[in-house]
Structure 1
Amino acid sequence: MAYARTPSSEIPIGTNHVRLQRAASRADVFPRLIAMQKQLRARNFAVFRISGAGLPGKRRLFCEMENWGGENAHFADLILGGYADALLDHIELSTLPLAWSGTEQVSFVEAFEFTPLLRRLPSEVTPFSGVAFPVRLGAMGNGYVIFTGGSFSLSSDLMIEHHVRSCHIMTDLLALDERRTVPAETLSEREVACLQLAGDGRISEEIAENLGLSVHTVNAYLGSATMKLDAVNRIQAIAKAIRLGYIH
Protein backbone atom coordinates (compact mmCIF):
# COMPACT_ATOMS: atom_id res chain seq x y z
CA MET A 1 0.00 0.00 0.00
CA ALA A 2 1.32 3.42 -0.91
CA TYR A 3 0.64 6.66 0.90
CA ALA A 4 0.32 10.22 -0.30
CA ARG A 5 1.47 12.99 2.02
CA THR A 6 -0.55 16.09 2.73
CA PRO A 7 0.67 18.91 4.97
CA SER A 8 -0.91 17.25 7.99
CA SER A 9 -1.69 13.62 7.28
CA GLU A 10 -0.83 10.41 5.51
CA ILE A 11 -3.64 9.16 3.28
CA PRO A 12 -3.66 5.74 1.61
CA ILE A 13 -4.00 5.75 -2.15
CA GLY A 14 -4.63 3.02 -4.70
CA THR A 15 -8.43 3.13 -4.68
CA ASN A 16 -11.08 5.45 -6.05
CA HIS A 17 -10.78 8.95 -4.66
CA VAL A 18 -13.18 9.42 -1.77
CA ARG A 19 -14.74 12.86 -1.50
CA LEU A 20 -16.67 13.52 1.68
CA GLN A 21 -18.30 16.72 2.83
CA ARG A 22 -16.73 18.28 5.89
CA ALA A 23 -18.52 17.46 9.12
CA ALA A 24 -20.17 20.50 10.68
CA SER A 25 -20.60 18.69 14.00
CA ARG A 26 -19.99 15.33 15.64
CA ALA A 27 -23.56 14.41 14.72
CA ASP A 28 -22.42 14.38 11.07
CA VAL A 29 -19.64 11.88 11.82
CA PHE A 30 -21.80 9.19 13.42
CA PRO A 31 -23.87 8.22 10.33
CA ARG A 32 -20.71 7.99 8.23
CA LEU A 33 -19.29 5.48 10.71
CA ILE A 34 -22.55 3.54 10.62
CA ALA A 35 -22.38 3.40 6.80
CA MET A 36 -18.80 2.09 6.97
CA GLN A 37 -19.84 -0.49 9.57
CA LYS A 38 -22.60 -1.78 7.31
CA GLN A 39 -20.35 -2.01 4.27
CA LEU A 40 -17.79 -4.00 6.26
CA ARG A 41 -20.59 -6.16 7.72
CA ALA A 42 -19.28 -5.34 11.18
CA ARG A 43 -21.47 -5.20 14.26
CA ASN A 44 -20.03 -2.12 15.91
CA PHE A 45 -17.49 0.68 15.57
CA ALA A 46 -15.33 2.75 17.89
CA VAL A 47 -13.00 5.73 17.44
CA PHE A 48 -9.96 5.77 19.72
CA ARG A 49 -7.65 8.78 19.93
CA ILE A 50 -4.24 9.15 21.53
CA SER A 51 -3.52 11.66 24.27
CA GLY A 52 -0.08 12.66 25.49
CA ALA A 53 1.51 12.39 22.02
CA GLY A 54 5.23 13.05 22.09
CA LEU A 55 5.49 12.52 25.85
CA PRO A 56 7.30 9.27 26.69
CA GLY A 57 5.26 7.12 29.03
CA LYS A 58 2.28 9.51 28.85
CA ARG A 59 0.56 8.25 25.70
CA ARG A 60 -2.89 6.83 26.32
CA LEU A 61 -5.75 5.60 24.16
CA PHE A 62 -9.19 6.92 24.97
CA CYS A 63 -12.52 6.12 23.36
CA GLU A 64 -13.95 9.14 21.52
CA MET A 65 -17.04 7.62 19.89
CA GLU A 66 -18.62 4.16 19.82
CA ASN A 67 -21.92 2.39 19.33
CA TRP A 68 -21.36 -0.67 21.49
CA GLY A 69 -23.61 0.32 24.35
CA GLY A 70 -25.86 -1.96 26.37
CA GLU A 71 -24.46 -5.37 27.18
CA ASN A 72 -21.42 -4.67 24.99
CA ALA A 73 -20.43 -1.44 26.76
CA HIS A 74 -17.41 -3.18 28.30
CA PHE A 75 -15.81 -3.76 24.86
CA ALA A 76 -13.88 -0.48 25.10
CA ASP A 77 -12.28 -1.71 28.31
CA LEU A 78 -11.45 -5.03 26.65
CA ILE A 79 -9.65 -3.29 23.77
CA LEU A 80 -7.82 -0.93 26.11
CA GLY A 81 -6.85 -3.82 28.34
CA GLY A 82 -5.81 -6.25 25.62
CA TYR A 83 -4.64 -4.11 22.74
CA ALA A 84 -3.59 -0.67 24.01
CA ASP A 85 0.18 -1.29 24.06
CA ALA A 86 0.17 -3.02 20.67
CA LEU A 87 -1.89 -0.24 19.08
CA LEU A 88 0.29 2.52 20.55
CA ASP A 89 3.48 0.79 19.40
CA HIS A 90 2.13 0.03 15.93
CA ILE A 91 1.08 3.57 15.03
CA GLU A 92 4.59 4.83 15.77
CA LEU A 93 5.99 2.49 13.12
CA SER A 94 3.32 2.00 10.50
CA THR A 95 -0.02 3.20 9.16
CA LEU A 96 -1.00 -0.21 7.79
CA PRO A 97 -4.27 -1.60 9.19
CA LEU A 98 -4.30 -4.18 11.96
CA ALA A 99 -6.74 -7.06 12.35
CA TRP A 100 -7.34 -9.70 14.95
CA SER A 101 -9.64 -12.59 15.72
CA GLY A 102 -11.11 -13.67 19.00
CA THR A 103 -13.30 -16.73 19.15
CA GLU A 104 -14.63 -15.63 15.75
CA GLN A 105 -12.55 -15.51 12.58
CA VAL A 106 -11.77 -12.62 10.25
CA SER A 107 -11.87 -13.73 6.62
CA PHE A 108 -9.51 -12.01 4.18
CA VAL A 109 -10.45 -12.18 0.50
CA GLU A 110 -7.60 -11.26 -1.88
CA ALA A 111 -5.96 -9.37 0.98
CA PHE A 112 -2.87 -11.50 1.46
CA GLU A 113 -0.64 -8.47 2.13
CA PHE A 114 -2.58 -7.88 5.37
CA THR A 115 -2.41 -11.39 6.78
CA PRO A 116 1.00 -10.89 8.48
CA LEU A 117 -0.66 -8.15 10.55
CA LEU A 118 -3.37 -10.45 11.90
CA ARG A 119 -3.16 -10.38 15.68
CA ARG A 120 -4.72 -13.17 17.70
CA LEU A 121 -5.60 -12.78 21.33
CA PRO A 122 -6.87 -15.51 23.66
CA SER A 123 -10.65 -15.79 23.60
CA GLU A 124 -10.85 -14.90 27.28
CA VAL A 125 -9.43 -11.45 26.42
CA THR A 126 -11.84 -10.60 23.63
CA PRO A 127 -14.55 -12.78 22.06
CA PHE A 128 -14.93 -10.59 18.97
CA SER A 129 -12.91 -10.09 15.80
CA GLY A 130 -11.92 -6.67 14.57
CA VAL A 131 -9.97 -4.41 12.23
CA ALA A 132 -8.24 -1.18 13.23
CA PHE A 133 -7.33 1.61 10.80
CA PRO A 134 -4.53 3.80 12.18
CA VAL A 135 -4.48 7.52 11.33
CA ARG A 136 -1.55 9.88 11.92
CA LEU A 137 -2.25 13.61 11.71
CA GLY A 138 0.86 15.00 13.35
CA ALA A 139 1.22 15.98 17.00
CA MET A 140 -2.56 15.95 17.49
CA GLY A 141 -5.39 13.80 16.23
CA ASN A 142 -3.64 10.44 16.02
CA GLY A 143 -5.67 7.34 16.69
CA TYR A 144 -7.68 4.46 15.28
CA VAL A 145 -11.06 3.83 13.72
CA ILE A 146 -11.98 0.30 14.78
CA PHE A 147 -14.71 -2.05 13.61
CA THR A 148 -15.67 -5.18 15.49
CA GLY A 149 -18.00 -7.97 14.53
CA GLY A 150 -18.48 -11.52 13.51
CA SER A 151 -16.94 -13.34 10.59
CA PHE A 152 -16.68 -10.52 8.07
CA SER A 153 -14.70 -10.63 4.81
CA LEU A 154 -12.22 -7.91 3.91
CA SER A 155 -10.82 -7.52 0.40
CA SER A 156 -7.75 -5.39 -0.30
CA ASP A 157 -9.85 -2.74 -2.07
CA LEU A 158 -12.32 -2.57 0.80
CA MET A 159 -9.51 -2.25 3.35
CA ILE A 160 -7.94 0.64 1.43
CA GLU A 161 -11.25 2.42 0.83
CA HIS A 162 -12.18 2.31 4.49
CA HIS A 163 -8.72 3.42 5.55
CA VAL A 164 -9.22 6.53 3.41
CA ARG A 165 -12.61 7.10 5.00
CA SER A 166 -11.11 6.63 8.46
CA CYS A 167 -8.56 9.34 7.69
CA HIS A 168 -11.41 11.69 6.75
CA ILE A 169 -13.24 10.85 9.99
CA MET A 170 -10.21 11.59 12.16
CA THR A 171 -9.40 14.78 10.22
CA ASP A 172 -12.94 16.05 10.77
CA LEU A 173 -12.81 15.27 14.49
CA LEU A 174 -9.53 17.17 14.78
CA ALA A 175 -10.99 20.10 12.83
CA LEU A 176 -14.04 20.19 15.11
CA ASP A 177 -11.73 20.29 18.14
CA GLU A 178 -9.71 23.13 16.65
CA ARG A 179 -12.80 25.17 15.79
CA ARG A 180 -13.51 25.41 19.50
CA THR A 181 -10.09 26.94 20.13
CA VAL A 182 -9.81 29.17 17.04
CA PRO A 183 -10.41 32.89 17.72
CA ALA A 184 -14.01 33.96 17.12
CA GLU A 185 -12.90 36.30 14.34
CA THR A 186 -13.27 34.46 11.03
CA LEU A 187 -11.06 34.77 7.97
CA SER A 188 -12.01 37.35 5.35
CA GLU A 189 -12.52 36.43 1.69
CA ARG A 190 -9.17 38.02 0.79
CA GLU A 191 -7.36 36.12 3.54
CA VAL A 192 -8.91 32.86 2.37
CA ALA A 193 -7.99 33.62 -1.26
CA CYS A 194 -4.37 34.36 -0.34
CA LEU A 195 -4.12 31.24 1.80
CA GLN A 196 -5.61 29.11 -0.97
CA LEU A 197 -3.07 30.33 -3.52
CA ALA A 198 -0.24 29.97 -1.00
CA GLY A 199 -1.42 26.43 -0.35
CA ASP A 200 -1.25 25.80 -4.09
CA GLY A 201 2.45 26.68 -3.96
CA ARG A 202 2.27 30.29 -5.17
CA ILE A 203 4.74 32.83 -3.80
CA SER A 204 3.61 36.29 -2.68
CA GLU A 205 4.51 37.92 -6.01
CA GLU A 206 2.39 35.39 -7.93
CA ILE A 207 -0.52 35.77 -5.50
CA ALA A 208 -0.36 39.55 -5.88
CA GLU A 209 -0.44 39.32 -9.67
CA ASN A 210 -3.31 36.81 -9.60
CA LEU A 211 -5.48 38.89 -7.24
CA GLY A 212 -4.47 42.34 -8.50
CA LEU A 213 -2.93 43.33 -5.18
CA SER A 214 0.44 44.60 -4.05
CA VAL A 215 2.95 42.18 -2.57
CA HIS A 216 2.80 44.14 0.68
CA THR A 217 -0.98 43.71 0.86
CA VAL A 218 -0.74 39.98 0.15
CA ASN A 219 1.80 39.54 2.94
CA ALA A 220 -0.45 41.54 5.26
CA TYR A 221 -3.42 39.27 4.49
CA LEU A 222 -1.31 36.15 5.02
CA GLY A 223 0.04 37.56 8.27
CA SER A 224 -3.39 38.42 9.64
CA ALA A 225 -4.74 35.00 8.64
CA THR A 226 -1.81 33.34 10.40
CA MET A 227 -2.58 35.26 13.60
CA LYS A 228 -6.32 34.51 13.42
CA LEU A 229 -5.56 30.81 13.05
CA ASP A 230 -3.13 30.94 15.98
CA ALA A 231 -0.41 29.48 13.76
CA VAL A 232 3.32 30.02 14.14
CA ASN A 233 4.05 30.48 10.44
CA ARG A 234 2.48 30.48 6.99
CA ILE A 235 2.93 26.73 6.46
CA GLN A 236 1.13 25.89 9.70
CA ALA A 237 -1.60 28.40 8.83
CA ILE A 238 -2.18 26.67 5.48
CA ALA A 239 -2.35 23.24 7.13
CA LYS A 240 -4.76 24.52 9.77
CA ALA A 241 -6.94 26.27 7.19
CA ILE A 242 -7.20 22.97 5.28
CA ARG A 243 -8.24 21.07 8.41
CA LEU A 244 -10.82 23.73 9.28
CA GLY A 245 -12.30 23.66 5.80
CA TYR A 246 -11.38 27.22 4.79
CA ILE A 247 -9.32 25.99 1.83
CA HIS A 248 -8.76 22.65 0.10
Structure 2
Amino acid sequence: MKDGKGKGDGGKKPGRQASRADFFPRLIAMQRFAHARNFVVFKMTNSGLPGRRKLSIIIDNFSSDSAMTAMSVLDAYGEQMLDHLEISSLPLLWHGIEDSQTAEMADFAAFVRHMKERSLPACGVAFPIRLGGMGNGYVVFVANYLDLTSEAVVDLHDRSHQLMMDLLVLDERRAMPDDVLSSREVACLQLAGDGLVSEEVAEKLRLSVHTVNAYLATATMKLDSVNRIQAIAKAIRLGYIA
Protein backbone atom coordinates (compact mmCIF):
# COMPACT_ATOMS: atom_id res chain seq x y z
CA MET A 1 0.00 0.00 0.00
CA LYS A 2 1.27 3.47 -0.85
CA ASP A 3 0.80 6.10 1.81
CA GLY A 4 -0.78 9.48 1.02
CA LYS A 5 1.79 12.16 0.24
CA GLY A 6 2.32 15.39 2.08
CA LYS A 7 2.22 16.89 5.53
CA GLY A 8 -0.74 17.25 7.83
CA ASP A 9 -2.70 19.24 5.26
CA GLY A 10 -2.54 16.31 2.84
CA GLY A 11 -0.89 18.09 -0.07
CA LYS A 12 2.61 17.80 -1.44
CA LYS A 13 3.70 21.39 -0.82
CA PRO A 14 7.00 22.91 -1.90
CA GLY A 15 9.18 24.67 0.64
CA ARG A 16 8.36 27.97 -1.00
CA GLN A 17 5.87 29.16 -3.58
CA ALA A 18 7.14 28.27 -7.04
CA SER A 19 6.95 30.90 -9.78
CA ARG A 20 7.58 31.30 -13.49
CA ALA A 21 10.96 32.84 -12.67
CA ASP A 22 12.10 29.36 -11.64
CA PHE A 23 11.90 28.34 -15.30
CA PHE A 24 14.44 30.93 -16.48
CA PRO A 25 17.52 28.76 -15.76
CA ARG A 26 16.06 25.89 -17.80
CA LEU A 27 15.21 28.18 -20.69
CA ILE A 28 18.60 29.88 -20.59
CA ALA A 29 20.30 26.46 -20.69
CA MET A 30 18.20 25.51 -23.74
CA GLN A 31 18.94 28.89 -25.34
CA ARG A 32 22.68 28.31 -24.93
CA PHE A 33 22.37 24.78 -26.27
CA ALA A 34 20.70 26.19 -29.40
CA HIS A 35 23.20 29.10 -29.58
CA ALA A 36 20.17 31.37 -29.69
CA ARG A 37 19.85 35.00 -28.65
CA ASN A 38 16.42 35.03 -27.00
CA PHE A 39 13.51 32.81 -26.04
CA VAL A 40 9.77 33.22 -25.61
CA VAL A 41 7.04 30.82 -24.45
CA PHE A 42 3.57 31.28 -25.92
CA LYS A 43 0.36 29.73 -24.60
CA MET A 44 -2.80 29.37 -26.68
CA THR A 45 -5.79 31.02 -25.00
CA ASN A 46 -9.34 32.00 -25.89
CA SER A 47 -9.52 35.60 -27.09
CA GLY A 48 -13.05 36.03 -25.75
CA LEU A 49 -14.72 35.53 -29.12
CA PRO A 50 -16.48 32.23 -29.89
CA GLY A 51 -14.13 29.84 -31.64
CA ARG A 52 -11.35 32.42 -31.73
CA ARG A 53 -8.02 31.54 -30.13
CA LYS A 54 -4.80 33.47 -29.78
CA LEU A 55 -1.23 33.07 -28.55
CA SER A 56 -0.26 34.93 -25.39
CA ILE A 57 3.25 35.57 -24.09
CA ILE A 58 3.80 33.88 -20.73
CA ILE A 59 7.59 34.20 -20.32
CA ASP A 60 10.45 35.66 -22.40
CA ASN A 61 13.85 37.33 -22.08
CA PHE A 62 13.64 39.98 -24.81
CA SER A 63 14.78 43.48 -23.91
CA SER A 64 11.97 46.03 -23.97
CA ASP A 65 14.08 48.51 -25.93
CA SER A 66 15.29 45.96 -28.49
CA ALA A 67 14.23 46.11 -32.14
CA MET A 68 13.26 42.45 -31.86
CA THR A 69 10.64 41.60 -29.20
CA ALA A 70 8.43 38.67 -28.32
CA MET A 71 5.48 40.66 -29.65
CA SER A 72 7.18 41.21 -33.01
CA VAL A 73 7.60 37.43 -33.33
CA LEU A 74 3.91 37.03 -32.50
CA ASP A 75 2.84 39.74 -34.95
CA ALA A 76 4.88 38.20 -37.76
CA TYR A 77 4.12 34.52 -37.28
CA GLY A 78 1.25 34.23 -34.79
CA GLU A 79 -1.42 33.28 -37.33
CA GLN A 80 0.80 30.70 -39.02
CA MET A 81 1.78 29.24 -35.66
CA LEU A 82 -1.86 28.94 -34.58
CA ASP A 83 -2.84 27.22 -37.83
CA HIS A 84 0.11 24.85 -37.55
CA LEU A 85 -0.67 23.98 -33.92
CA GLU A 86 -4.05 22.60 -34.96
CA ILE A 87 -2.60 20.07 -37.40
CA SER A 88 1.02 19.24 -36.60
CA SER A 89 3.63 18.85 -33.87
CA LEU A 90 6.62 19.42 -36.19
CA PRO A 91 8.87 22.36 -35.20
CA LEU A 92 8.58 25.51 -37.32
CA LEU A 93 11.64 27.25 -38.74
CA TRP A 94 11.92 30.68 -40.28
CA HIS A 95 14.76 32.30 -42.19
CA GLY A 96 16.09 35.70 -41.28
CA ILE A 97 17.05 38.44 -43.70
CA GLU A 98 20.32 40.15 -44.59
CA ASP A 99 22.92 38.97 -42.03
CA SER A 100 20.46 36.69 -40.25
CA GLN A 101 20.04 33.19 -41.57
CA THR A 102 19.45 29.55 -40.78
CA ALA A 103 21.83 26.83 -41.82
CA GLU A 104 20.35 24.54 -44.44
CA MET A 105 20.79 20.86 -43.74
CA ALA A 106 19.81 17.90 -45.85
CA ASP A 107 18.12 16.10 -42.96
CA PHE A 108 16.05 19.08 -41.76
CA ALA A 109 13.03 18.39 -43.95
CA ALA A 110 11.92 15.46 -41.81
CA PHE A 111 12.05 17.46 -38.60
CA VAL A 112 10.75 20.96 -39.36
CA ARG A 113 8.30 22.96 -41.44
CA HIS A 114 9.52 26.20 -43.00
CA MET A 115 7.53 29.40 -42.56
CA LYS A 116 7.48 32.17 -45.16
CA GLU A 117 10.03 34.89 -44.62
CA ARG A 118 8.92 38.05 -42.84
CA SER A 119 10.74 41.30 -42.16
CA LEU A 120 12.28 40.15 -38.89
CA PRO A 121 15.98 40.82 -38.24
CA ALA A 122 16.57 37.27 -36.99
CA CYS A 123 15.84 33.64 -37.73
CA GLY A 124 14.14 31.29 -35.33
CA VAL A 125 12.73 27.91 -34.44
CA ALA A 126 9.35 27.36 -32.76
CA PHE A 127 8.55 24.10 -30.98
CA PRO A 128 4.78 23.39 -30.87
CA ILE A 129 3.53 21.83 -27.63
CA ARG A 130 0.19 20.02 -27.77
CA LEU A 131 -1.01 18.87 -24.35
CA GLY A 132 -4.72 18.55 -25.04
CA GLY A 133 -6.84 19.58 -22.06
CA MET A 134 -3.81 20.87 -20.16
CA GLY A 135 -3.08 23.48 -22.82
CA ASN A 136 -1.12 24.11 -26.00
CA GLY A 137 1.55 26.56 -27.06
CA TYR A 138 5.08 27.10 -28.30
CA VAL A 139 8.63 27.43 -27.00
CA VAL A 140 10.54 29.68 -29.43
CA PHE A 141 14.22 30.53 -29.85
CA VAL A 142 15.57 33.30 -32.08
CA ALA A 143 19.10 34.13 -33.19
CA ASN A 144 21.08 35.91 -35.88
CA TYR A 145 22.18 32.48 -37.06
CA LEU A 146 20.91 28.99 -36.22
CA ASP A 147 22.85 25.84 -37.03
CA LEU A 148 21.01 22.91 -35.46
CA THR A 149 21.38 19.22 -36.22
CA SER A 150 18.27 17.08 -36.39
CA GLU A 151 19.32 15.47 -33.09
CA ALA A 152 19.49 18.89 -31.44
CA VAL A 153 16.03 19.77 -32.78
CA VAL A 154 14.55 16.58 -31.34
CA ASP A 155 16.29 17.13 -27.98
CA LEU A 156 15.12 20.74 -27.73
CA HIS A 157 11.58 19.75 -28.64
CA ASP A 158 11.51 17.11 -25.91
CA ARG A 159 12.82 19.58 -23.31
CA SER A 160 10.33 22.21 -24.50
CA HIS A 161 7.46 19.72 -24.06
CA GLN A 162 8.47 18.95 -20.47
CA LEU A 163 8.99 22.64 -19.66
CA MET A 164 5.56 23.61 -20.97
CA MET A 165 3.93 20.79 -19.02
CA ASP A 166 5.64 21.94 -15.81
CA LEU A 167 4.61 25.56 -16.46
CA LEU A 168 0.97 24.62 -16.97
CA VAL A 169 0.94 22.43 -13.86
CA LEU A 170 2.37 25.37 -11.90
CA ASP A 171 -0.37 27.68 -13.19
CA GLU A 172 -3.01 25.05 -12.42
CA ARG A 173 -1.83 24.65 -8.84
CA ARG A 174 -1.54 28.41 -8.26
CA ALA A 175 -5.14 28.83 -9.41
CA MET A 176 -6.34 26.46 -6.70
CA PRO A 177 -6.85 27.14 -3.00
CA ASP A 178 -3.62 26.51 -1.06
CA ASP A 179 -5.10 23.65 0.96
CA VAL A 180 -7.32 22.27 -1.74
CA LEU A 181 -7.28 18.66 -0.52
CA SER A 182 -7.53 17.34 3.02
CA SER A 183 -5.33 14.50 4.26
CA ARG A 184 -8.31 12.10 4.15
CA GLU A 185 -9.16 13.11 0.58
CA VAL A 186 -5.55 12.56 -0.47
CA ALA A 187 -5.45 9.16 1.25
CA CYS A 188 -8.66 8.05 -0.43
CA LEU A 189 -7.46 9.23 -3.83
CA GLN A 190 -4.11 7.51 -3.35
CA LEU A 191 -5.68 4.16 -2.50
CA ALA A 192 -8.23 4.48 -5.29
CA GLY A 193 -5.35 5.29 -7.63
CA ASP A 194 -3.63 2.11 -6.45
CA GLY A 195 -6.63 0.19 -7.79
CA LEU A 196 -8.66 -0.34 -4.61
CA VAL A 197 -12.45 -0.10 -4.75
CA SER A 198 -14.35 1.94 -2.15
CA GLU A 199 -14.96 -1.06 0.13
CA GLU A 200 -11.22 -1.85 0.20
CA VAL A 201 -10.31 1.80 0.80
CA ALA A 202 -12.80 1.90 3.68
CA GLU A 203 -11.25 -1.21 5.23
CA LYS A 204 -7.70 0.17 4.90
CA LEU A 205 -8.61 3.52 6.45
CA ARG A 206 -11.14 2.13 8.94
CA LEU A 207 -13.91 4.29 7.55
CA SER A 208 -17.38 3.56 6.26
CA VAL A 209 -17.89 3.09 2.54
CA HIS A 210 -20.24 6.07 2.59
CA THR A 211 -17.52 8.28 4.11
CA VAL A 212 -14.92 7.12 1.57
CA ASN A 213 -17.26 7.89 -1.31
CA ALA A 214 -17.96 11.30 0.20
CA TYR A 215 -14.22 12.08 0.42
CA LEU A 216 -13.71 10.95 -3.16
CA ALA A 217 -16.67 13.02 -4.33
CA THR A 218 -15.43 16.21 -2.63
CA ALA A 219 -11.88 15.62 -3.95
CA THR A 220 -13.27 15.19 -7.45
CA MET A 221 -15.20 18.44 -7.11
CA LYS A 222 -12.23 20.37 -5.69
CA LEU A 223 -10.02 19.17 -8.52
CA ASP A 224 -12.63 20.31 -11.04
CA SER A 225 -12.88 16.82 -12.50
CA VAL A 226 -15.81 15.05 -14.08
CA ASN A 227 -15.22 11.69 -12.41
CA ARG A 228 -12.99 9.78 -10.01
CA ILE A 229 -10.59 8.60 -12.72
CA GLN A 230 -9.95 12.14 -13.93
CA ALA A 231 -9.50 13.33 -10.34
CA ILE A 232 -6.86 10.66 -9.70
CA ALA A 233 -5.00 11.60 -12.89
CA LYS A 234 -5.10 15.27 -11.97
CA ALA A 235 -3.97 14.61 -8.40
CA ILE A 236 -0.97 12.69 -9.75
CA ARG A 237 -0.12 15.49 -12.17
CA LEU A 238 -0.32 18.11 -9.42
CA GLY A 239 1.82 16.07 -7.06
CA TYR A 240 -0.78 15.24 -4.41
CA ILE A 241 -0.43 11.50 -4.91
CA ALA A 242 2.10 9.21 -6.56
Q: What's the TM-score, normalizing by structure 2?
A: 0.77
Match in the other structure for 1:118: 114
Would the alpha carbon gap of residues 247 and 111 (structure 1) be closer, same or farther in structure 2, given more than 3 Å must change?
farther
Identity over the aligned pairs, expressed in percent?
52
The structure with higher relative contact order (CA 8 Å, sep 6+) is: 2
Which structure: larger Rg?
Answer: 2
> Secondary structure at 1:47's aligned position in 2?
strand
1:1-248 to structure 2, matched below 5 A, reads 24-52=18-46, 56-72=50-66, 74-103=68-97, 104-107=100-103, 108=105, 110-115=107-112, 117-122=113-118, 125-139=119-133, 141-196=135-190, 198-199=192-193, 202-204=195-197, 208=201, 211=204, 216=209, 218-248=212-242
Q: How many angstroms apart in 2 are the aligned matches of 1:113 and 1:206?
A: 52
**1:205 touches 1:215 (CA, 8 Å); kept in 2?**
no
Would the alpha carbon gap of residues 53 and 233 (structure 1) be closer, same or farther in structure 2, given more than 3 Å must change?
farther
Paired residue type of 2:92: L
Match in the other structure for 1:15: none
| Shift of residue 218, structure 1, vs aligned partner | 4.3
Q: How many angstroms apart in 2 are the aligned matches of 1:213 and 1:156?
A: 56
Q: CA RMSD in A?
A: 3.0
Where does structure 2 lack aligned partners over 5 or more consecutive residues? 1-16
**2:126 touches 2:140 (CA, 8 Å); kept in 1?**
yes
**1:44 touches 1:147 (CA, 8 Å); kept in 2?**
yes
Q: How many angstroms apart in 2 are the aligned matches of 1:198 and 1:164?
A: 31
Q: What's the TM-score, normalizing by structure 1?
A: 0.75
Where does structure 1 lack aligned partners over 5 or more consecutive residues? 1-22
> Secondary structure at 2:36's aligned position in 1?
coil
Would the alpha carbon gap of residues 233 and 162 (structure 1) be closer, same or farther in structure 2, given more than 3 Å must change?
same
Please list the CA deviations of residues 153-177 of structure 1 after superposition, one character each: whole Å capped at 9, or x if unmatched: 2223322222222222222222222
Q: How many angstroms apart in 2 are the aligned matches of 1:136 and 1:197?
A: 30
| Shift of residue 234, structure 1, vs aligned partner | 1.8
